Amino acid sequence: MTSAWVEPPDWVRAHAPAKINLSLRAGSPRSDGYHPLVTVFQAVSLFEEVTATADDDVRVTVSGEQADRVPTDESNLAVRAARLLARRAGITDGVHLHLSKAVPVAGGMAGGSADAAATLVAVDELWGTGASRDDLLDLARELGADVPFALVGHTAVGTGRGDVLTPAMVRGEFHWVLALSDHGLSTPAVFGALDRLRDGAHVEPNPEADVAVMQALRSGDPHQLGEALHNDLEPAALHLAPRLAAVQAAARDAGALGVVVSGSGPTVAALARSESHAKIVATTLTLAGVADRLLVATGPAPGARLLP
């Protein structure tokens, strides 16, 4: 029995989530400069949306928050994702990618990686390449350390560069207030500051998973998780952006259960008791004037997927 030929669509939409790091532990740098990581990712309900439309070449346009800060040349991670899939699948068609931004640029929440993950899902459907999820994960690892998690979503432990993922057991839902800054932080600069701050200190070359965070996730207890939040990069981010200390202090004063810089920053994630408490924390931080923008989100959220 043969299946009927289906004409490929003219356009496809997909989205992928932002991430926060509930725990991030960084080992001493290897000879290639990379720091071995063990991190616990959680995807949150803040999505990058990609619309892929058939075109003669691969090109990108951008709208939404901080769109003017997103490159539209070959350095754009979504463009690289489309070209990589095209090469692997032997596709000569082009695609117009329109990125609708909701995740802060250079905010430590992997917005560019979410663009790439959503693009892989969208162009696979648009071009009918029939790639498996494992095929897309292999491509994601080539594109960047955070791209695989944006593809998978939910909550996971990342090792290596953060790109080798193991799903984490999670009970319930967690409510986050995200304090955003219009001034991003460079990830290489933050790791460089980390090494300078650690100069002379003993650092385990291969860190281990954060047991306290994993236990809190399994229990579904936000109080326990708030106490366990941890980020080895936080001192470096605060060194480069001292203003973040005021954000953290204001969040704690507002009753946040825990506060952590997400990834390389400068986004600060504050854990609330409930959805209504998250709104109270966000309002308090807005009145304090310590952040450029405030968002409320929940986690875990699903990974990259097609939209109707």
Give the C-alpha separation, 61 to 100, whole Å: 9
* Statement: residue 1 has pLDDT above 50: no
Q: Is the per-residue pLDDT at 3 higher than 80?
A: no
d(CA 63, CA 81): 19
Q: Which residues, including other chains, have CB under 8 Å from residue 251's CB and lie 6 or more apart?
A: 177, 179, 259, 268, 270, 281, 285
214-235 mean pLDDT: 97
Q: What is the pLDDT of residue 2?
A: 47
Amino acid at 266: P
The answer to whether 158 and 39 are in contact (CB under 8 A) is yes
Cα separation, 138 vs 104, in Å, equals: 26
Q: In which band, very low, low, confident or very high, does the pLDDT at 6 lie, cut at 50, 70 and 90?
A: low
Q: Tell me, letter by letter, the H, E, C secondary structure of 278-299.
A: HHHHHHHHHHHCCCCEEEEEEE
Q: What is the mean pLDDT of residues 223-235?
A: 97
pTM strictly above 0.75: yes
- CA-CA-CA-CA torsion for 100, 261, 26, 47, nearest 10 degrees? -20
**115 pLDDT exceeds 60?**
yes
CB burial string 119-147: b at 16+ within 10 A, e below: bbbbbbbbbebebeeebbbebbbebbbbb
β-bridge partners, 157: 40, 166
Q: Which residues contact 200 (CB under 8 A, 6 or more apart)?
A: none
Instruction: Quote the crossing angle between the two packed helices 133-143 and 77-89, to the nearest 10°.
Output: 130
* CA separation for the pair 287, 272 (Å, rounded): 17
User: Residue 9's pLDDT is what?
Assistant: 79
- Mean local confidence (pLDDT), 161-188: 92
CB contact at 8 A, 167 and 156: yes
74-105 tens-digit pLDDT: 999 999 999 999 999 999 999 999 999 999 88
- pLDDT for the residue 5: 53
Per-residue pLDDT at 123: 97
Residues that are catalytic: 19, 146
- Give me 293's structure tokens: 């923008």
Q: Say if residue 192's pLDDT is above 50.
A: yes
Q: Whole-angstrom Cα distance, residue 146 to residue 61?
A: 22
Of residues 10, 21, 84, the one with CA closest to residue 234: 21
Residue 7 has a pLDDT of 65
Tell me whether residue 33 is exposed, middle or buried, using C-beta atoms within 10 angstroms of its C-beta: 0 to 12, 13 to 18, 19 or more: exposed
148 residue type, one letter: P
The Cα–Cα gap between 225 and 219 comes to 9
| Reported confidence tier of residue 31, pLDDT bands at 50, 70, 90 | confident
The arithmetic mean of pLDDT across residues 103-130, rounded, is 94
